[in-house]
Amino acid sequence: MLEEILDMDQQQSLVSAMAENLIGSEIIKLAGEINEKIKKGEKVFNFTIGDFDPTIFPIPAELTEEIIKAYHKGHTNYPPANGIAELRKVVSEFLFDRTGLKYTADEVLISGGARPLIYGIYVTLLNAGDKVIVPVPSWNNNHYCHLVHAVPVYVETKAENNFMPTAEEIQPFLGEATLLSLCSPLNPTGTVFTKSPLKKICELVIEENRKRKAAGARPLYVMYDQIYWMLTYGTTEHYNPVSLFPEMHEYTIFVDGISKSLAATGIRVGWAFGPRVIIDKMKAILSHVGAWAPKAEQVAVSKYLAQKEMVDSYLENFKDRVEKRLNSIYKGFIELKNEGFRVDAIAPQAAIYLTIKLDLVGLKTESGHVLNTQKEVTNYILEEGRLAVVPFSAFGSSDDSSWYRLSVGTCNTAEIPEVFATLKRALKKLS
């Protein structure tokens, strides 16, 4: 009987259209292919996944101890749907102390990392067919749009703006959009909004919402993903919409957490904060998904974040080690560029990412094969240069973009000279 059903209508899908057409994570797929090479004994310098090697970047020892204590004390039952009160209070105080943002504990929602929160924002704010402005490159917005049947409006950003969107690029699409997705520091680039460009975008949002309020229309909301905000380097400063314009409080929902700033991607403690009416709806939705962070981890994070000097000490050491890796690899690419190779890089500003350029389309390999596409460039660099990085096309940019994300979360500094020696040999083989 099942075979007969499958034969009908050219084997019509047995799942929903959404599930049938959902595309898996391009980054995870690429990483899987690379891991297969490594398992076979091939040497690969893997800079793909935006995660950490715990042997290189462990979470704070004190946080580990607090997690163990919490389990020993029996914190293994369900937490409240919006997170334990102690953690929401600590997060509220943490945000005010470090950013000046004023959000009460009831305007904070705890979840199992940032992903459920982003999904919660999409489900809470968007109806099927609603438009989302998605500057690209960006992380996973295309997939979240698909999950809720929203329509992504892609805005391709430019290298000269460090791939951060500008008001001029966004303005034409604001009138029909329900959500503007922004991220700073940006995954995949490791670059940030400077003050003036973000102010101009906020001014557009405020003006648009004044028009909508007068017309009785739904607001234009901003999702502001700042999960990397504590990882800024040098003179780089982090800016956010609400600190620049208090009026943006009504329209901005933040995504934040410890996943990146404490190298704690597997601990799964994230938080959103924003207008109470939206946070309450997100809480109700995520309570049905069961997407809360484990209670023991919540208890532990509430105790750890309250210890300011301890957090500062960890961050100082952690940031120094990440920044040195980013700067060392950046320097290596600039040296190759100065030697005449068709590569480039943008100076690191934040996060764990370096934006690099491999402008090799049109060059010939030793065998005489011409690299006709960027995909062929990616494969060549992997096979000959042993370098695994993620093309910006995996983040929504055009397929012919020559820019890539390089992540240092698993970078062993002792290997960096070998990385560039191997890459240089591969580049020399091209003509």
- When the pLDDT of each residue in the chain is averaged and rounded to a whole number, the result is 95
Q: What is the pLDDT of residues 162-204, one digit of tens each?
A: 999 999 999 999 999 999 999 999 999 999 999 999 999 999 9
CA–CA separation, 124 and 350 (whole Å): 30
Counting every residue written for the chain, the total comes to: 431
Q: Is the pLDDT of residue 206 over 50?
A: yes
Q: What is the pLDDT of residues 67-117, one digit of tens each?
A: 999 999 999 999 999 999 999 999 999 999 999 999 999 999 999 999 999
For residues 270-289, average pLDDT: 97
Rg over alpha carbons for the chain, rounded to the nearest Å, is 23
Neighbours of 51 (CB within 10 A): 17
CA–CA separation, 123 and 111 (whole Å): 15
pLDDT band at 297 (very low <50, low <70, confident <90, very high): very high
pLDDT of residue 5: 45
pLDDT of residue 12: 63
Which comes out higher in pLDDT, residue 291 or 10? 291
What's the CA angle centered on 405, arms 403 and 407, to 5 degrees? 155
In what order do the strands lie in the sheet containing 390-391?
343-346, 353-358, 403-407, 390-391
pLDDT band at 130 (very low <50, low <70, confident <90, very high): very high
User: Which residue in this structure is represented by tokens 């042993």?
Assistant: 386
Q: What is the pLDDT of residues 245-255, one digit of tens each?
A: 999 999 999 99
Contact 227, 257 (CB under 8 A): yes
pLDDT band at 1 (very low <50, low <70, confident <90, very high): very low
For residues 391-420, average pLDDT: 96
Where do the H-state alpha helices sit in 275-429? 276-289, 295-305, 308-338, 374-383, 416-428
User: Which domains are delineated in the chain?
Assistant: 2-57+313-428 (3.90.1150.10), 61-306 (3.40.640.10)
**3-state class of 367 per DSSP?**
coil
pLDDT of residue 8: 46
For residues 37-44, average pLDDT: 88
Q: What is the pLDDT of residues 45-70, one digit of tens each?
A: 999 989 999 999 999 999 999 999 99
pLDDT of residue 11: 52
